[in-house]
Structure 1
């Protein structure tokens, strides 16, 4: 009877947490604001469609003194592969300015994304259509790598891999259906992000470990790590006077019409999202280790289980902290090369907001990861010690 009550308590606690956070996240969610000025969709339409390049020829060369060079406009004949114009042969414009990273040097047989803007005058006159080559078609490569990832996860992980894919799907839905719409609607970024991440964590843990002490301990450990990460992000972001406008993308958001975002809050939210994956990894590893140790030695008490969990956690935290630092360093490689090439002064580097932001992002995540180890070890040790094997 005692064991049954414990199971009921654990399941009720997990279900209560899930229901609470899910309800609050839904209440905090959508209500999309209108970001663009109104226009008559019947008069102006724009769309992106895939096409196959058939023929290319230079149309004109324009001299641009400010760029000290020429801009070449190419006529590109394409066969549309989808959309309203599927099967039609159209002519698109491709512009070459001599700028690496912007120019697309096309060849017949290439697949491209075509931008089509069509305007129909209000008086019913002939529609005016402009067609440009927007980008190369890269989605097939993306689909292949996603397929390899999912296939290996299912092949090696089997049922656990399938549950991991389900948890990943929930994570994507939580971000794109709750978090982002909530931010657009003007909700406070930090509380909303914490709520969404806790819901995602809880569902993921239940998928992996079921309604168990292990799932509860890992969830509570992750919650503790997130609270620490949020607090540290806020404190040190304030001390470093971070504005949340260090990157070009962040500054672009400021000028979007009818979009009122808390950019500093958005920065702190990004720090939490970047850290939660590693925190979940550590907390589940510690909780699982304690569960298996208890199974192997049923006589161990709470203090011994906590100590064993801490030993496992110390081994994990060293590699995971390194993983976080290396992940952020990998993203900043171009900047690091620029610093060395131009021999920038250290004083300039360590006070540049973009660099300070990334350093704080990496260290806040690492500290939260470290703190989550003892939190999880204590909770898992206490919950597991009462289990009868």
Structure 2
């Protein structure tokens, strides 16, 4: 049933309008916002491809673009599948696909609910809270977040779509994001350098472990429906195993960077309180702080990946699937490798950052003594 729904959706979205036995290509396609003015429920159901389809006859007013203010009538097909159906009522705001054909012929299809307004409100609240609570540091955090998003959207993703190896792209992007973020937040000093070295090392280690283990257990990188659809569109272009491992690298970056910065900051504060501590004592102090951070941050990674898989886990539990079957499924093995690789990289970031931080601080002390 699920496969049939996907086939129906792909045909509905991608196949041009059929007229008199021929397919007509639209000259232009626009995605615009619209409001539902009127809905008339169709009587009974139609049978399309072996699936019962219910029809809503919908009147829409376009709210954006070149057709703003114009009213169109369209049919909205429902397959009684809540995962994919877009059932509408009067007053709903939706996203519509407007297809223009020759001779001023226009077809309008409901594509999805219009969700962007509330998403923008939530984003605005998030930024406002960062600025109110963080003030100057909060502003810097917003700047680094913007840079991170731009690096991924304008750099990482386009390069991957060109068929370039996603693993080195993700490693370089992760190091670049780490350097920019920490320098903007903390400035150029021994603390930031130690955090950058520790974070970059942890991310690279996480990626290498994921690559090695993923190759050994033969992960395909095609465990998700999105990857399967990409395979249809970009077969022979994209490296799906590489996409999987690059996702692990980028997914672990945030938590690893947090740990690296926390350890470096703690060691610097301890040194400022007592600059007579030796390199070993500073290292041990950083490790003690890291042990406290480690428990909560590893939970963060594990829970983040588990939370995204709750429906799947419930499905296994409801069907009483055996543990050996669950663990060996590609989709589950992928999530296990993803979460454990990131957690290992996070754990190893603690001693690496502590070691580099203690070394740089004591070397700075020696340079001060020599200059005196």
- Name the TM-score, length of structure 1 as normaliser: 0.85
Using the alignment, how far apart are the partners of 2:76 and 2:48 within structure 1?
20
| 2:153 aligned residue | 176
Cα shift readout 1:280-299 (whole Å, capped 9, x = no counterpart)? 00000000001111111121
Using the alignment, how far apart are the partners of 1:258 and 1:102 within structure 2?
25
Cα shift readout 1:141-167 (whole Å, capped 9, x = no counterpart)? 101110111011111111111111111
Cα shift readout 1:101-138 (whole Å, capped 9, x = no counterpart)? 22233221111111111221xxxxx2332211111110
Cα shift readout 1:42-89 (whole Å, capped 9, x = no counterpart)? 961111111111111135644328656x32222211111110111111
| Unmatched segments (≥5 aa) in structure 1 | 1-35, 37-41, 121-125
| 2:47 aligned residue | 64
Using the alignment, how far apart are the partners of 1:194 and 1:218 within structure 2?
16
Alignment of 1:136-151 (within 5 A): 136-151=113-128
1:130 to 107, 118, 129: 107
1:221 aligns with 2:198: yes
User: What's the CA shift for 1:320?
Assistant: 0.4
| 1:361 aligned residue | 338
| 2:180 aligned residue | 203
Alignment of 1:128-277 (within 5 A): 128-257=105-234, 260-277=237-254
Using the alignment, how far apart are the partners of 1:85 and 1:306 within structure 2?
65
Cα shift readout 1:228-274 (whole Å, capped 9, x = no counterpart)? 11210111001111111111111111121576011111111011011
Alignment of 1:335-346 (within 5 A): 335-346=312-323
**What secondary structure sits across from 2:73 in the alignment?**
strand
**What secondary structure sits across from 1:56 in the alignment?**
strand
| 1:53 aligned residue | 36
| 2:75 aligned residue | 93
CA separation of 1:259/1:173 partners in 2, compared to 1, >3 Å: closer, same or farther? farther
**What secondary structure sits across from 2:36 in the alignment?**
strand
2:55 to 73, 78, 83: 73
| Unmatched segments (≥5 aa) in structure 2 | 1-13, 15-24
| 2:324 aligned residue | 347
**What secondary structure sits across from 1:255 in the alignment?**
helix
Using the alignment, how far apart are the partners of 1:60 and 1:87 within structure 2?
30
Using the alignment, how far apart are the partners of 2:176 and 2:95 within structure 1?
37
Using the alignment, how far apart are the partners of 2:245 and 2:340 within structure 1?
13
Using the alignment, how far apart are the partners of 2:200 and 2:50 within structure 1?
53
1:307 aligns with 2:284: yes
CA contact (8 A) 1:92 1:114 kept: no
**What secondary structure sits across from 2:75 in the alignment?**
strand
| 2:347 aligned residue | 370
Root-mean-square deviation (Å): 1.8
Identify the range of structure 1 (91-100 vs 168-177) with the bigger mean alpha-carbon deviation: 91-100
- Name the TM-score, length of structure 2 as normaliser: 0.88
| 1:318 aligned residue | 295
| 1:83 aligned residue | 65
CA separation of 1:200/1:246 partners in 2, compared to 1, >3 Å: closer, same or farther? same
**What secondary structure sits across from 2:233 in the alignment?**
coil
| 1:18 aligned residue | none
| 1:105 aligned residue | 87
